Amino acid sequence: MRDRENILTYMARRMNLGKIIWLLTLTFFLVGVLFPFYWMVSSSFKTQREIAGRHPVYVPHALRLEAYKELFDPSAPHFQDFGRNIVNSIKVSVPTALIAVILSVLGAYAIARLRFKGKELMLNGVLAVYLIPGVLLIIPLFAMLAKIGDAVGFEVQDNLGVLVVTYLAQTLPVALYMLTNYFRTIPDEIEQAALIDGCNRLEVIWRVTLPLSIPAIVSVFVYTFMIAWNEFLYAFVFLNSRQMFTMPIKIQAIFSDPSPRPHVVMAASTIMTVPVVLLFLVLERFLEEGLTAGGVKG
Amino acid sequence: MSVVSRWRSLRAQEARLGWALLAPTLIIVFGLVIFPAFFSIWISFHAVGLHNLNDVFHAPFNGLENYKRVVTDFAFKYHSIQNMGAALTSIVYSFSATLLALIGGLVAALLLNKPFRGRGLVRATFLFSYVAPIVSVAFVWRWILDPRPSGVMNDLLMRLGVIHAPMAYLSQRGLALIVVILLDAWRYFPFAMLMILARLQAIDKSLYEAAEVDGANVWERFRYITIPELRFVLGAVFLLRLIWTFNKFDDIFLLTGGGFGTKVLPILVYEFSFRLRDFGRGAAAAMILVAFLVVFIAVYLRFVMRSEEEA
């Protein structure tokens, strides 16, 4: 008891009430945010026995790879062939991000630098995409793409290219908006000088504007990549065959398996989440500016 | 050639280049967002099912039939406070989740407003729940909230003596909606935090100094300086988040599948379209969703934002 009083009086001496409240609230937020992530990663190293026990296991006894084996090891029972799903996710997100960067650099340059009528209207009109619910678009998209696919000769279902195009439509407005705002902060004089030196417009973009906009371009790339990487609804509707599933759909499929194996779901979730969170931490300074400037839809 | 006409042709050339550079983006966005949006209005007035999806342009017109069948659908209508129907559930869900996320974001931003060691790291950590993929986040929470006694939440709350028997957080009417709202606030408070923090950092410090000289206490400084300075950003974030939450499908679909009193309009649209394969009715439900949105935005801009300008 005496010890406790000592600590309390010590604390009272060191801090005032405001500081204690601040510290408690901070702890509450940190624990609240981090605990689910701890639970995801730690559960992925548990065994079936630890998962199915009478009480939750807060710290796994050892780093068991049972769950990861089920995902990757062809000899494991219930082998999931998750490697294929990782490849599918990469096949969708990298092209989405690359094409979004290229197209939005061109468009944003036009809006920020060239004088022509209607550009502000276009910028704002394109932003209206923000307000349109995804579930509304999926019905007409499905019907339209089926029709076009019939005519041109491609499948709508199980076609990763269709996903790339629909993700582009969802991400280009953000990308365009973020980059336009950024280009407007680059002084026009530098480009004018290059133009006078005899560069044409595309050379100016390539040699002057792009090198100066690396931070903005990196954020646009990472954002569009993350949106494509995380996307659920469109992939869920457009993909039917397990071979073509991206990670989110595959994880949903493992979760819905009649014999529940949460540790496998957590292992797959860990694999999907860790790269995104790491990428975010590394590039955090660039990205936060983008978040507040563009207001990424989420 | 006169100087004027040469200048004109240069302007025209610049305009042509501008449209050319913008064209790919415009074509994709118009082709895959703007046109389908209008097309779905058309679909909502026609009988479109799986059988005629490939020949959708010849689908028979059926007037307001789709809308009638949405509005009178059991899942849409209000029955009782226990069974609110998708329309009211959507409103309750999106308003409370948005408000909670905004309050959480405000508290978090205030926590991080003064410099301290490790502030950058804490701020980045707070953003985890927002940047992590929704699928992993939803399934971790489902696992934490597992209804068996071995679920973490049940285990913790029973050890603490808060509850005596395990609870089914996500599969009990009423409770499920509350839990889904709380989880949404957990996921989206970082967005509000970032916006509010950026504004907080821009408040002129001399305002606080002057207030302190005048003898204002912490609460008064918050009430009479911070809140008025944040007014605009709070209003804007609220509207933006409200729209996005109202449109949200993934979160609830992954957490409860839309069951146990959490069926919101986007889930209903999905079910009409892809479970019942009645695309006309799905489109009509989506249009009703948009109509709600338009009303929110109009009311908000007319009354809330205007009164803020006057204040």
- C-alpha torsion angle, residues A99, A100, A105, A110 (rounded to 10): 110
Query: pLDDT tens-digit profile of A91-102?
Result: 999 999 999 999
CATH number, domain at A194?
1.10.3720.10
In this complex, the residue of A18, A137, A262 whose CB is nearest that of residue B33 is: A137
* Residue B227 maps to a domain: yes
Q: How confident is the model at residue B141 (pLDDT cuts 50, 70, 90)?
A: very high
Are B266 and A135 a contacting pair at CB < 8 A?
Answer: yes
* Residue A75 maps to a domain: no
pLDDT value for A3: 54
**The two three-digit tokens of residue B282, written as one number:** 């799905």
pLDDT value for A28: 94
Are B198 and A295 a contacting pair at CB < 8 A?
Answer: no
How many domains, in total, are found in chain A?
2
Predicted structure pTM score: 0.88
Residues A234 and A120 in one domain: yes
- Measure Cα distances from A173 to A168, A189, B22 in Å: 9, 27, 12
pLDDT value for A270: 95
Q: Which residues in chain B have their CB less than 8 angstroms from residue A230's CB?
A: 133-135
pLDDT value for B207: 87
Residues A101 and A230 in one domain: yes
The percentage of chain B sitting over the pLDDT mark of 70, rounded to a whole number, equals 96
Residues B40/A139, Cβ–Cβ less than 8 Å: yes
Residues A202 and A284 in one domain: yes
| Alpha-carbon gap: B308 to the closest alpha carbon of chain A (Å) | 22
Residues A25 and A95 in one domain: no
Q: Which residues in chain A have their CB less than 8 angstroms from residue B273's CB?
A: 138-139
DSSP H helices, B214-249, are 218-221, 227-247
Q: In the beta sheet, which residues pair with residue B203?
A: none
* Residue A217 maps to a domain: yes
| Alpha-carbon gap: B177 to the closest alpha carbon of chain A (Å) | 20
Of the two residues A70 and A11, the one the predictor is more confident about is: A70
Preferred mutation among B9, B13, B28 to probe A, highest tally of A CBs within 10 A? B28
Residues A196/B56, Cβ–Cβ less than 8 Å: no
A136 to chain B: closest CA residue:
B286
* Residue B271 maps to a domain: yes
pLDDT value for A290: 57
pLDDT value for A5: 57
* Residue A12 maps to a domain: yes
Residues A244 and A170 in one domain: yes
Taking the CB of residue A33, how many other CB atoms lie within 10 A of it?
20
Residues B111/A33, Cβ–Cβ less than 8 Å: no
For residue A262, pLDDT beyond 50: yes
Strand, helix or coil for residue A297: coil
Residues A242 and A97 in one domain: yes
* Residue A77 maps to a domain: no
For residue A293, pLDDT beyond 70: no
* Residue A51 maps to a domain: no
DSSP H helices, chain A, are 2-14, 17-44, 48-51, 66-72, 82-113, 119-127, 134-152, 160-185, 188-196, 201-204, 210-212, 214-230, 233-238, 247-255, 262-282, 284-294
CATH number, domain at B58?
1.10.3720.10
For B60, the domain range is 45-310
Residue in the structure block whose two tokens are 């989110």: A248
Range in A140-154, B33-47, B261-275 with the lowest mean pLDDT: A140-154
pLDDT value for A1: 46
pLDDT value for B96: 96
For residue B143, pLDDT beyond 70: yes
Residues A137 and A267 in one domain: yes
| Alpha-carbon gap: A75 to the closest alpha carbon of chain B (Å) | 26
- C-alpha torsion angle, residues B225, B230, B235, B240 (rounded to 10): -170
| Alpha-carbon gap: A77 to the closest alpha carbon of chain B (Å) | 22
In this complex, the residue of A56, A104, A229 whose CB is nearest that of residue B152 is: A56
pLDDT value for A7: 64
Q: How confident is the model at residue A295 (pLDDT cuts 50, 70, 90)?
A: very low
* Residue B215 maps to a domain: yes
Residue contacts between A and B (CB atoms, under 8 Å) = 260
* Residue B11 maps to a domain: no
Range in B120-129, B147-156, B249-258, B295-304 with the lowest mean pLDDT: B295-304
In angstroms, the CA A217 to CA A105 distance is: 8
What is the ipTM score, two decimals?
0.88
For residue B215, pLDDT beyond 80: yes
pLDDT value for B1: 54
* Residue A76 maps to a domain: no
How many domains, in total, are found in chain B?
1
Are B194 and A288 a contacting pair at CB < 8 A?
Answer: yes
Give the type of residue at A226.
M
Residues A6 and A101 in one domain: no
| Alpha-carbon gap: B108 to the closest alpha carbon of chain A (Å) | 8
* Residue B269 maps to a domain: yes
Are B32 and A169 a contacting pair at CB < 8 A?
Answer: yes
For residue A289, pLDDT beyond 90: no
For A287, the domain range is 82-294
Query: pLDDT tens-digit profile of A111-128?
Result: 888 888 888 888 777 777
